[in-house]
């Protein structure tokens, strides 16, 4: 009978083999990555453009350019596009962030050609109808007005605007008034300049044969689309970082939202895997020090975490939580106490071993299935063109890093002299 009073024996993983991918340069200049690792006759196609908000000269043009692609082409209405995807059992989606915009299509292999034909039409021939743009502007403006009433949103925006400045592409945010100023020409020009064959990476994953590769090549790889981007190698202006504290008072708030953090090293930096371990110890999983202290022991919050957000030009380390207004000051104090402990005391071996096992498991889960593998490989190309050995090197570093090394890393990167602190809500002093 299983004895549940005893912890299971710890097992270690052996040599880890990271799946490789086929790389193809298409005739129109686009890059194609093929991940053949599926067992079912389904495929995922992700088209990633260097077309995030950092490249726009008019606010909301990057968002509008990718969000409205499905709203009509020269040969299809928005309704026809939706009906055809439904008919073929396909599912499209889109996303955007500061650095990238992407279109993703999930399809059966049987109807891949037909489904991708619709998606290709959206890329080659969008018309961005004025009536659809009007709906986009009205809905977007109202949603943003509602969102800006939330302390979480205010704290996050203030954090990034202070970290980079609100004039920096990474620190700028759209306002409700920006929706009124948005014009169809802004969106169409952005699409023409940045949704281009020379500025995209196509990742095909699933149960893939030469047949599926040829479909992608025929539809998306022969004829160039878009103009050559004018500044897709844009160098962002540097930002100077010193300790700053920003508070946005909201009298009717029941909670305060807290964001504390700083700019961090890029993913390709030799210390990045070590800092991943440090971050996990601090607030990167449910058993972290911040969770034990501020949730379990103090009861200030339902959840608190720290994370590393990767960008193309940098990364951001940030601690985030929401607490009752009367716990705001104490929570901030405990956050800094935990950071200080990492800078002054070595992590006990038992805690370090546990975190290592957890983190290696998290890395391995990113290769659980063909679509997850594709996402992991995409991140290599999105951030600093890392090679396939990156994941193996990361796991090796996690396994070998010592408590002494982590103490050095903490003192190197967690100095509070350049931390940004953003709080939004009701700050009570009693």
Mean pLDDT by 10 residues, the chain (430 residues): 53 60 93 91 96 95 98 96 97 95 97 98 97 98 96 96 92 97 97 95 95 97 82 64 86 90 93 97 96 96 96 94 94 97 97 96 86 85 72 92 97 92 77
pLDDT at 349: 96
- C-beta neighbour count of 149 within 10 angstroms: 11
**Do both 135 and 262 map to the same domain?**
no
Asked if 264 and 160 sit in the same domain, the reply is: no
> What is the rounded distance in angstroms from the CA atom of residue 231 to the CA atom of residue 252?
45
Note whether residue 17 is domain-resident: no
Structure-token pair, residue 96: 């955007």
Do 54 and 125 belong to one domain? yes
Residues 214 and 256 placed together within one structural domain of the fold: no
Chain-centroid distance of CA 373 in Å reads 16
End-to-end CA distance of the chain: 54
Query: Could you tell me the sign of the dihedral formed by the alpha carbons of 166, 147, 155, 335, in that order?
Result: negative
Q: What are phi and psi of 92, to 5 degrees?
A: -100, 155
Measured CA to CA, the distance from residue 118 to residue 82 in angstroms comes to: 10
Task: Give the number of residues written for the chain.
Answer: 430
The pLDDT assigned to 160 comes to 96
70 within some domain: yes
Question: Looking at the structure, do residues 181 and 306 belong to the same domain, yes or no?
Answer: no
334 and 215 in a common domain: no
Task: Yes or no: say if 115 and 104 are a contact pair by the CB < 8 Å rule.
Answer: no
Q: What is the pTM of this model?
A: 0.90
The pLDDT value recorded for residue 430 is: 44
Name the 3-class secondary structure at 422.
strand
Range of the domain at 248: 244-425
Q: Are 192 and 227 in contact (CB under 8 A)?
A: yes
Say whether both 330 and 398 belong to one domain.
Answer: yes
Q: Are 91 and 33 in contact (CB under 8 A)?
A: no
Strand partners, 422: 246, 259
Distance (Å, whole) CA 218 – CA 32:
12
In this predicted structure, what is the pLDDT of residue 289? Answer: 98
70 with 146, same domain: the answer is: yes
Residues 257, 190, single domain; the answer is: no
For residue 249, tell me if it sits in a domain: yes
When computed from its CA atoms, the radius of gyration of the chain, rounded to whole angstroms, is 24
Structural domains of the chain, count: 2
Both 248 and 121 in one domain: the answer is: no
Sequence-ordered list of residues with C-beta below 8 angstroms from that of 212, at least 6 positions apart, any chain: 43, 109, 112, 204, 206
| Domain shared by 216 and 78, yes or no | yes
Q: Residue 228 domain-assigned? A: no
Query: Is residue 8 one of the residues assigned to a domain?
Result: no
Calpha distance 122→94 (Å, rounded): 12
């Amino acid at each position: 009978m299983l004895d549940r009073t005893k912890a299971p024996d710890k097992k270690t993983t052996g040599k880890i083999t990271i799946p490789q991918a086929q790389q193809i340069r298409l005739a129109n200049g686009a890059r194609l990555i093929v991940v053949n690792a599926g067992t079912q006759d389904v495929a995922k196609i992700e088209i990633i453009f260097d077309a995030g908000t950092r490249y726009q000269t008019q606010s909301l043009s990057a968002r509008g350019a990718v969000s409205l692609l499905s709203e009509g082409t020269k040969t299809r209405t928005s309704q026809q596009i939706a009906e055809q995807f439904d008919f073929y059992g396909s599912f499209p989606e889109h996303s955007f962030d500061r650095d990238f915009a992407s279109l993703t299509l999930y399809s059966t292999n049987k109807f891949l050609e037909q489904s991708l034909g619709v998606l290709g039409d959206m890329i080659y021939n969008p018309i961005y109808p004025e009536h659809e743009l009007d709906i986009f502007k009205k809905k977007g403006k109202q949603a943003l007005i509602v969102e800006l009433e939330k302390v979480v949103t205010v704290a996050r925006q203030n954090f990034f605007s202070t970290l980079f400045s609100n004039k920096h592409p990474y620190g700028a945010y759209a306002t409700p008034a920006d929706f009124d100023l948005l014009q169809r020409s802004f969106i169409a020009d952005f699409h023409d300049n940045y949704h281009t064959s020379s500025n995209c990476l196509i990742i095909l994953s699933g149960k893939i044969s030469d047949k599926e590769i040829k479909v992608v090549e025929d539809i998306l790889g022969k004829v160039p689309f878009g103009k050559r981007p004018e500044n897709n190698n844009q160098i962002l202006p540097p930002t100077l970082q010193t300790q700053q504290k920003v508070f946005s008072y909201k009298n009717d708030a029941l909670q305060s939202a807290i964001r504390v953090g700083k700019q961090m090293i890029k993913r390709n930096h030799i210390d990045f895997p070590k800092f991943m371990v440090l971050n996990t110890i601090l607030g990167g999983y449910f058993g972290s020090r911040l969770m034990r202290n501020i949730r379990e022991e103090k009861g200030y919050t339902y959840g608190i975490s720290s994370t590393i957000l990767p960008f193309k030009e940098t990364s951001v380390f940030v601690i985030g939580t929401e607490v009752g207004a009367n716990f705001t000051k104490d929570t901030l104090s405990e956050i800094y106490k935990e950071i200080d402990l990492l800078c002054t005391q070595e992590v006990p071996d038992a805690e370090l071993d546990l975190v290592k096992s957890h983190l290696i498991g998290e890395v391995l889960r990113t290769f659980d299935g063909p679509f997850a593998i594709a996402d992991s490989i995409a991140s290599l190309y999105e951030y600093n063109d890392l090679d396939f050995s990156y994941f193996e090197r990361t796991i090796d570093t996690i396994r070998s890093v010592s408590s002494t090394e982590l103490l050095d890393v903490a003192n190197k990167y967690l100095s509070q002299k350049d931390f940004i602190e953003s709080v939004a809500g009701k700050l009570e002093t009693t």
